Amino acid sequence: MTADALLDRALVEEATKKSGLIWVRGSGPARALWHVWHDGAALLVGDGPGEQPLPAGLEAGAAAEVTVRSKDKGGRVVAWTAAVLVLEPHSEDWEAAVAELKGKRLNAPDAERMTERWARECRVLRLVPGAARTQLPDGSLAAAPLPTGATTRQPAPAALHRLLLKRRGRR
């Protein structure tokens, strides 16, 4: 391996370890995902009830584009191509990955039975880094937010201002 390749690999590892989120693109739009860096790869869990939705196209043997942001500034640090491995539930690799992920999973409703649920209903992925691109693109790569049912922005009811004014007058 050349010195540049070793430096790129070190940048990928350090940036990904320190970042709380990575942006992962499979065959569809990229998604921000929480992850754990372990044993030279990013580990993800998702696609089950109560877990993060994984992007389309993250199948065994596929390639994914990973963009790592800076934890303090939020800007893009490095982008790298990953080989996607889907870990089989209760395999040796799956058990090691789940042990790392379990310690970082926040606010799980069923922390004591979480790994059982992951084995039944979720997918655990290992993203192994390949080529890194440290040169950042010229454009912003900004995209419209993905559609979600969590949107709360609706027009205010017509009578809302009268209700607010009435309360102010009572004081």
| Mean pLDDT value of segment 137-161 | 75
pLDDT higher than threshold 70 for residue 171: no
Is the alpha carbon torsion for 17, 22, 25, 28 positive or negative?
Answer: positive
Q: How is residue 34 written in tokens?
A: 């929480």
Q: What is the pLDDT of residues 18-36, one digit of tens each?
A: 998 999 999 988 999 999 9
pLDDT value of position 99 = 94
| Mean pLDDT value of segment 10-15 | 92
Choice between 168 and 85, residue whose per-residue pLDDT is larger:
85
**Considering only CA atoms, which of 35, 56, 51 is closest in space to residue 128?**
35
pLDDT higher than threshold 70 for residue 97: yes
What is the reported pTM?
0.78
Domains with residue ranges and CATH for the chain: 3-137 (2.30.110.10)
| Mean pLDDT value of segment 47-66 | 92
